[in-house]
Amino acid sequence: MKISFANSAVPKTGAIVVGVLEGRKLTASAQAVDDATNGALMRAIKASSFKGSAKHSLTVMTPAGRISRVVCMGLGKASDVDALALQALGGRIFSNLKAHAPVAQVLMDELDGCDLKAHEMAAEVALGAKLGSYTFDKYKTKKKDHDGSKLKDFKIFSKSSAKAKAAFEPQDKVCDGVFFTRDLVSEPANVLYPATLAAQAKTLTKLGIKVEILGQAQMKRLGMGALLGVAQGSVHEPKMVIMTYTGKPKHKGAKPSKADAPVAFVGKGVTFDSGGISIKPSGGMEDMKWDMGGAGVVIGLMKALAGRKAKVNAIGVVGLVENMPSGTAQRPGDVVTSMSGQAIEVLNTDAEGRLVLADALWYTNDRFKPHTMIDLATLTGAIMVALGTHHAGLFSNDDELAAELSAAGREVGEKVWQLPMGPEYDKMINSGIADMQNIGERWGGSITAAQFLKRFVGDTKWVHLDIAGVTWSKTGKPTSPKGGTGFGVRLLDQWVMNKLEK
């Protein structure tokens, strides 16, 4: 779908979208359309139950050959109209018109009581429409008319089209990163496995990102026994992908400065998780194709940062494995040695993501010396028991960093919730025969998983995001259709913008 901008005007034909405030108060553009249709708009509104409340809409059909239909979108109170409300509005407009019109013409006005300018509002609506337009239908060989979208052009009229376009351009690039993540998460495991996921990451070289791919032999030489132990039951060779984006000029001086240190994003990339020898129940196991969601977010985020030319130096590292049961698979009770030298007793082969991240985090910290590390993983079902599907779990060794990410999440509507950590939880993963075990007791499963990861980050500022409950949606939202959500790309991009590009 093409998104374009134009200066304020009232189109004479086609489908038009206008805003109506609570109490049936027409915006300036809505009033102009009402005048152009000889009061048809207001007559229809008065004859309906539509009051202009947020999330409500009314479609008014008009004579053929002129304006075909006018969609009145409820805005609610002007003081409640913010970026997230406008993004949701854009998604709802797309949903309303996708089956009915080839072109949507959206008229935006500044509102008394709203902090945003008209061009900013236009950019947010455009972002919401694009996010809401996502679909993954590449394997549908027989598409019926109602399955697809007729809406090919989404045109927004506002006070300054040039300013609106400029405001939308970086958001458009972030959206590309979100879509890339959604695509990766949606692919079936017979198509997306470590080698093919690494190949997808390799495409980022077109954006100026340096991409390295480590194979099994290289990881063995580096001593990544934790990651390799997970992979040994699969016919697919594991990979580790390192993506380097340099968007900040090098600090002047003979020696590297702290200002040159990158931020690092690390993702769990289990392309299919059967549970290994500790095999999962068959019901719902098909969902485990998206157990590589953390890696998908890191790859999509790197695309977003490079696409919008973010002024930051960033490293993205993803450990890619498939966890399968076989004659060569890791067994419960095995002891593996991680790259850090710490020995791990594997009590449950289905607690594999933390083993992958253990080596990925240590490698990243040791090689790149980042000022901050943030890892993402669909790590535990326990986080869904605690938080459901509306928040990701956040764990950190730095409360200020945790607060920054929480704030960024609220800005973009990707909410996180910080959970506690501490020595009492850390004791729960001490092993009788090794340095640690990969699971604790039944209780606090998400916390003990985070405590496990903490043992591999040293003194570096670090956040762990458990995104198991938010990576896939079975219901969908205006800006996130059912399926892969891409949760995390916008959150981390916003944090980078807020804290690292000042």
What pLDDT, in 10s, does the model give residues 268-312? 999 999 999 999 999 999 999 999 999 999 999 999 999 999 999
What are the residues facing 242 on neighbouring strands?
212, 317
Q: Amino acid letter at 238?
A: P
Interacting residues of 270 by C-beta distance below 8 A, sequence separation 6+:
230, 288, 291, 292, 321, 322, 323, 352, 353, 356, 378
Query: 98, 155, 354, 454: which one is catalytic?
Result: 354
In contact, 70 and 58? CB cutoff 8 Å: no
Q: 54-63, 253-262, 363-372, 452-461 — which is least confidently predicted?
A: 253-262
Structure tokens at 359: 């080596």
Query: 202, 280, 311, 477: which one is catalytic?
Result: 280
Whole-number pLDDT of residue 250? 75
Largest CA distance in the chain: 83
Whole-angstrom distance, CA of residue 24 vs CA of residue 42:
9
The DSSP symbol for 341 reads S
Whole-number pLDDT of residue 206? 98
Q: 66-80, 145-159, 437-451, 460-474 — which is least confidently predicted?
A: 145-159
Mean pLDDT of 436-446: 96
Whole-number pLDDT of residue 258? 67
pLDDT tens-digit profile of 179-203?
999 999 999 999 999 999 999 999 9
Does the annotation mark 490 as catalytic? no
What dihedral do alpha carbons 87, 92, 98, 100 form, nearest 10°?
-140
Q: Are both 2-160 and 172-499 of the same fold?
A: no
Residue 82, by phi and psi: left (phi above 0), alpha (psi -120 to 50) or beta? Answer: beta
Structure tokens at 223: 């001593």
Whole-number pLDDT of residue 147? 58
CATH class of 2-160: alpha beta
Mean pLDDT of 90-110: 95
Does the annotation mark 24 as catalytic? no
In contact, 329 and 349? CB cutoff 8 Å: yes
Residue 37's pLDDT band (boundaries 50, 70, 90)?
confident
CATH class of 172-499: alpha beta
Length of the chain: 502
pLDDT tens-digit profile of 45-67?
999 999 999 999 999 997 655 88
The DSSP symbol for 253 reads S
pLDDT tens-digit profile of 348-406?
999 999 999 999 999 999 999 999 999 999 999 999 999 999 999 999 999 999 999 99
Q: Where are the alpha helices (DSSP H) in 192-326?
A: 194-202, 216-221, 225-231, 293-307
Q: Name which of 456, 463, 424 is nearest 443 in CA terms.
A: 424
Residue 473's pLDDT band (boundaries 50, 70, 90)?
very high
Q: Where are the domains of the chain?
A: 2-160, 172-499
